[in-house]
């Protein structure tokens, strides 16, 4: 299923979370709170969405989310390891059942040969089971942020359906 099949994914996800009595939190970097904005646009989302952290700076990733400094130094803020640590950290911080994280290079600057503009990692801590998706988007800054948020919603929806 995609958003066009049954409405906006954030609405459908909200119905599932409410029905299953699950709570959700988010940690965002390159999307700057866009994912959390989408959840909070849904009336009644406070019954399942606890809140989240916009951790744009590495110091915030470390101090609030518990991303270890050695992870940030060795792998960088835009990495699978950081996405995992962000998801785990925000789930623990807010005591939610589920947590999404997004970290990436939105652009137009900041990209390198190893980590090009559009590179994004999405983490999901699903009751302690953590998974990551890697994407490389081809849009401008705004488009990269929007497709990252949509991909995070799709990832969560898919896992909720899989159980």
What contacts 37, CB < 8 A, 6 or more positions away?
Answer: none
C-alpha span between 9 and 150 (Å, rounded): 8
| Domain ranges within the chain, ordered by starting residue | 3-162
- Give me the CATH code for the 3-162 domain, please: 3.90.950.20
- Give the CA dihedral 27, 33, 34, 36, nearest 10 degrees: 60
- Confidence (pLDDT) at 83: 98
pTM passes above 0.85: yes
Taking only the tens place, the pLDDT of each residue in 127-163 is 889 999 999 999 999 999 999 999 999 999 999 999 7
C-alpha span between 115 and 99 (Å, rounded): 24
The vertex-142 CA angle with 137 and 143, nearest 5°, equals 40
Report residue 7's pLDDT band, with 50, 70 and 90 as the boundaries: low
Report residue 75's pLDDT band, with 50, 70 and 90 as the boundaries: very high
Regarding beta strands 129-136 and 119-126, do their DSSP bridges make them parallel or antiparallel, or are they unpaired? antiparallel
C-alpha span between 125 and 95 (Å, rounded): 12
Q: What three-state secondary structure class fits 27? A: strand
- Confidence (pLDDT) at 2: 45
Taking only the tens place, the pLDDT of each residue in 21-68 is 999 999 999 999 999 999 999 999 999 999 999 999 999 999 999 999
Secondary structure E strands in 43-155:
49-54, 98-104, 119-126, 129-136
Q: In which order are the strands placed within the sheet that holds 98-104?
A: 49-54, 24-28, 98-104, 119-126, 129-136
- Angle at which helices 141-162 and 9-20 pack, to 10 degrees? 30
């Amino acid at each position: 299923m995609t958003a066009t099949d049954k409405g906006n994914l954030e609405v459908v996800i909200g119905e599932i979370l409410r029905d299953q009595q699950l709570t959700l939190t988010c940690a965002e970097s390159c999307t700057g709170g866009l994912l959390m904005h989408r959840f909070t646009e849904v009336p009644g989302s406070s019954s399942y969405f606890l809140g989240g952290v916009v951790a744009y700076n590495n110091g915030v990733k470390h101090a609030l989310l518990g991303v270890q400094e050695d992870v940030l130094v060795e792998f960088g803020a835009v990495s699978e390891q950081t996405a995992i640590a962000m998801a785990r950290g925000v789930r623990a911080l807010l005591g939610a059942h589920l947590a999404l994280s997004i970290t990436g290079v939105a652009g137009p600057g900041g990209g390198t040969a190893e980590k090009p503009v559009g590179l994004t990692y999405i983490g999901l801590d699903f009751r302690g089971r953590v998974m990551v998706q890697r994407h490389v988007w081809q849009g401008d800054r705004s488009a990269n942020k929007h497709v990252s948020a949509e991909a995070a919603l799709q990832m969560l929806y898919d896992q909720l359906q899989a159980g």
